[in-house]
Chain A
Amino acid sequence: MQNEYDVVVIGGGPAGLAAAIKSKELGLKVLLIENREFIGGIPIQCVHPGFGLHYFREDLTGTEFIYRLIEKFREMEIEHYTNAHVLEIIPHSYRHKILKVVTEKGLLNIMTKTVIYATGARERHIFEIGITGHRVAGIYTAGEAQTMMDIYGIMPGKEIVIVGSGDVGLIMARRFTLEGAHVKAVIELMPYPGGLTRNIVQCLEDFGIPLYLSHAVTRVEGRKRVEKVIITKVDENLRPIPGTEKELECDTVVLAAGLVPYLKVIEKAGVIIDPATKGPVVNSYLETSVPGIFVAGNALVINDLVDYVVEQGEEAAMGAYEFVKNEGLSTVKWKKLVKGRNIRLVVPHYVSEAKDVMIYARVAKPEENIKLRFPEIGKEMRLPFVKPSEMIRIKLRKRDIAKAEDKITMEVVPNE
């Protein structure tokens, strides 16, 4: 054992940096481990604005946002490894975990009381969404294309088709356009756009980029590089409608078909996964089902905004602090947050009256003029609309949580 820490943060993106900074502020002995050669994670390559409106109350680019955290992290001289990879987390005892880490200096066994897992998400790729055809050059995930353009300064292609109208897809449509590429279309499987309204306007409408709703890319064709894609209309069950095939000539396909929490290492440690979020099941301290392993950011749930990611990083740090201080989180009666009508996912999964808790949820389908209701605690609020693309974030107060017996349902109902 080379060393012993109060908390080891895995992942040096916004969630991990926020968690490490907060942990150090709370007086914990902290180590951060990052796989890449630099810290900062994905926001470094996000040269577009829209970051920090909640957290810094300023509109920043991703790069500006993350550099504020990076500078703070550096000023605080937080111990960290880059180019280091956690192979395994062994829950050695209730109080300690052993991390097996590959670094440039050799294999390390690191002992720690708690772990904050902040590894972010991976991108869904072409084979996961059932696109058939040729496996040729010119196919990228949006994140890969963004890394190419805004970290390494190279251009992926010229005639672009984007699959998926989530924020990532929309932002990449604009990004490609600004560099002189021709974005021929954004293709969306659902009957409504996947991204924020502001992004539909600022990234597509302002540039006259067509958006095909209820369409799928079913096939890629080309000899060496992409030459065209076949797009097809889909029915209400999202199945391709025969006879509606249409060809779009292009040299590049960019997949922005969604993100999935990247959990390889903690899955092996025995953490229970929620099939809805595809992230771990957590309590209000963002502690997973393995005591002392916390999770934050897109590894927990896919967020819309980096501001929420940072907030979760800080929350996990406070959880780790409680855990270290009390040698484990106090035993409380956990009340389950239950998904009611039109709620597709919600985190955390368990709350208690020991503390206020921020909850993050997504609806299954868009709805207008509704009430968001928590019947067991008599709480409700009117909203003009809810959309799957816009995460709902609200605080539940401990005095409200106290009103519930063993569960709190969250539901969307029409406002009558």
Chain B
Amino acid sequence: MKVVIIGAGVVGASIARVLSQYEGLEIHLLEKNADAGLGVSKANTSILHPGHEDEPDKYPLRAKLCIKGNRLWYQWTKELGIPAKWPGELMIAVEEEDMKVAEHYLELAQRNGVPGVRLVDHDELLKLEPNANPNAAGALWAPTAGLLSATMAAPALVENAVENGVRFHPETEVTGIKIEKGEVKGVETNRGFIEADIVINAAGLYSDKISKMAGIDYFTVHPRKGEYFIFDDDAEPKVTKIVHQTPTPITKGVYVITELNGGLMIGPTAQDLPEDAKEDTSTTREGLEFVWEWAQKLIKELPPRSMVIRTFAGLRPEPPDGRWIIDAYDDPWGFINAAGIRSPGFTSAPAIAYYIVEELIQGKLEIKLTRKSHWNPYRRALFFKSLPPEKQNELIKKNPAYGRVVCMCRGITEGDILDVINRMKRMGVKTITLDGIKMRTWPMVMAGTCQGSYCRIRIANIIARETGTPLWKVTLKGKGTEYGIGDIKVLLKEGVKENAE
């Protein structure tokens, strides 16, 4: 049987990985961008939520799949070598009256079956998080919350899926879905037709558009923007726990975390954008000021503004009424939606994948799947910096490129970069991009104090050399984002040509 998955974000990639455990499937994972995880999955808070923020009556799937996804990620991050940590989360009640809100979420935790959640008073809050706002009334403590390297997740999932037989098609945009006699037959793309018995729509912000192609057009997905600050790796104070506030009518909460790369991160905002603003990941002065103002209420003080090394914004796909659209249909048979996967979508992705494979494909569509006898759950990723000296020496002996430190802020070596490039090639990435390399390194290269002003050109040179591409043609994230415009004399030559004409 042939399966096409549209979209290699964390949802599509998780589905691909779960499906790769079964025999007799020809699985095609389609991605319009140059690489996996370049859309919604790349820019978010990177939190693995405990699962106590979703009303089970209103959002049954969200409530059920978030807690399951949280558990699955614990296993998946280890299997796939995705950096993760499990510091737990404090929902801070800044004022005494906010404790009532915290109590509401305690009740949700009970109803959803989230383990270990309890209220803590002012003193215990400060014991758990010494840098919390010293005037806060208390907090709701959820010990199962985690953080992962969000940027590495989708690429790692796809890499492992490909290892297990999935075919990855980057730079492949779906332009139509072929349906005959109420059954899905395949997808039209910019690279030709791909036959399929089952088409799974995991197209994130564009999942409404894909669904329409299959004739299911009762919903739209609009983008909701979140803006963030990241501080330098050595900016103080930091937090050990994930910190946010009891939700208010104005904001669901700004988070303060110490991200896996080492720096403090604050955000996001939640600004609803018009339906056609699906590429607007621009930061705004207003959004950033909002984040700054709210984050200040959570910890004793923020590091100085001069220690900010990056601001960014990401978009979340918001479905009508906040309800995920995860379903299989009688007509067209074979079409499955995983659409409008808003928060807690990242956390839930592995559980969504199992839900689709077990409840929808095997359940609703009554397709019998058999597990493979051999399936490789592992992806081994080595990063020079995190190895002990003996291992580092071994690596350098084997490949001197590990002895060349390319990124001085974060100690990433040429060997690390070459390993990433090889992984990308093996996975089927056609265009090796600077962003693709950044997403797969840890700590992230070109993302430290100097934000690549020193090392970006060195990495671009390595890409050029390894792929036989002229240096100027190396891209940040695919076509249209070339590093340069040509040879140094390109404009003068053009001028001479124009003169001659």
Interface residue ranges, A against B (CB under 8 Å)? 35, 37, 83-85, 87, 102-107, 122-123, 125-128, 132-137, 141, 143-144, 147-149, 152-158, 179-181, 218-219, 221, 223-225, 251, 262, 264, 267
Contacts and interface: CB of A to CB of B under 8 A. Distances in A.
Contacts of A135: 281, 312
Interface string B474-501: 0110011111111111111011000000
Contacts of A105: 396, 400, 403
Contact of A122 (B453, B457, B481): B453
A107 B393 contact: yes
A76 B479 CA distance: 49
B392 A136 contact: no
B488 A127 contact: no
Nearest to A157: B485
B471 to A, nearest CB: 5
B308 A155 contact: no
Contacts of B285: 132, 218
Task: Tell me which of B284, B485, B487, B495 has the highest count of chain A C-beta atoms within 10 A of its own C-beta.
Answer: B485
Given A104-B403, A132-B285, A152-B457, A122 B484 contact: no
Contacts of B283: 132-133
Interface stretch (B153-161, B355-363, B407-415): B407-415
Interface in B4-43: none
Interface residues of B, number: 56
A103 B405 CA distance: 8
A134 B281 contact: yes
Nearest to A126: B451
B312 A224 contact: no
Interface of B: 234, 279, 281-285, 288, 306, 308-312, 389, 392-393, 396-397, 400, 403-405, 408-409, 411, 413, 449-451, 453-454, 456-457, 461, 470-472, 475-476, 479-492, 494-495
A154 B488 contact: yes
Task: Tell me which of A103, A137, A251 has the highest count of chain B C-beta atoms within 10 A of its own C-beta.
Answer: A137
A223 B477 CA distance: 12
A177 to B, nearest CB: 10
Given A104-B403, A179-B492, 4 more contacts: A102-B403, A102-B413, A143-B453, A223-B279
A127 B265 CA distance: 14
B408 A155 contact: no
B481 A180 contact: no
Task: Tell me which of A105, A107, A224 has the highest count of chain B C-beta atoms within 10 A of its own C-beta.
Answer: A224
Given A122-B454, A132-B283, A141-B453, A154 B487 contact: yes
B485 A155 contact: yes
Contacts of A103: 396, 403
Task: Tell me which of B283, B310, B389 has the highest count of chain A C-beta atoms within 10 A of its own C-beta.
Answer: B283
Given A179-B492, A181-B491, A106 B449 contact: no
A106 B396 contact: yes
A299 B108 CA distance: 55
B216 to A, nearest CB: 29
Given A127-B310, A179-B488, A137 B453 contact: no
B30 to A, nearest CB: 21
A35 B409 CA distance: 12
Contacts of A156: 483-485
Nearest to B491: A180
A154 B486 contact: yes
B404 A133 contact: no
Contacts of A152: 457, 461, 471
Contacts of B306: 128
Task: Tell me which of A37, A84, A103, A106 has the highest count of chain B C-beta atoms within 10 A of its own C-beta.
Answer: A106
A136 B483 CA distance: 10
Nearest to B409: A264
A141 B483 CA distance: 13
Contact of B453 (A123, A154, A155, A219): A123
Contacts of A181: 491
A136 B435 CA distance: 11
A264 B480 contact: no
Contacts of B481: 136-137, 224-225
A267 B409 CA distance: 13
Given A123-B453, A148-B457, A155 B472 contact: yes
Contacts of A122: 449-450, 453-454
19 contacts: A85-B404, A85-B411, A102-B404, A106-B393, A106-B397, A125-B450, A127-B451, A136-B476, A144-B454, A152-B461, A153-B488, A155-B490, A156-B484, A158-B485, A180-B491, A181-B491, A218-B285, A223-B279, A264-B449
Contacts of A179: 488-489, 491-492
A133 to B, nearest CB: 5
Task: For the complex of A and B, list the 10 residue pairs with the smallest distance between their C-beta atoms, beginning with the closest.
Answer: A180-B491, A224-B480, A85-B405, A137-B481, A104-B403, A104-B400, A141-B453, A154-B472, A154-B484, A180-B492
Nearest to A135: B312
B281 A264 contact: no
A262 B476 CA distance: 25
B309 to A, nearest CB: 6
Given A144-B456, A152-B457, A104 B491 contact: no
Contacts of A137: 475-476, 480-483
A104 B393 contact: no
Given A155-B472, A155-B490, A125 B453 contact: yes
B472 A132 contact: no
B464 to A, nearest CB: 9
A84 B405 CA distance: 7
B487 A153 contact: yes
Nearest to A120: B454
Contact of B405 (A35, A157, A223): A35
Contacts of A221: 282
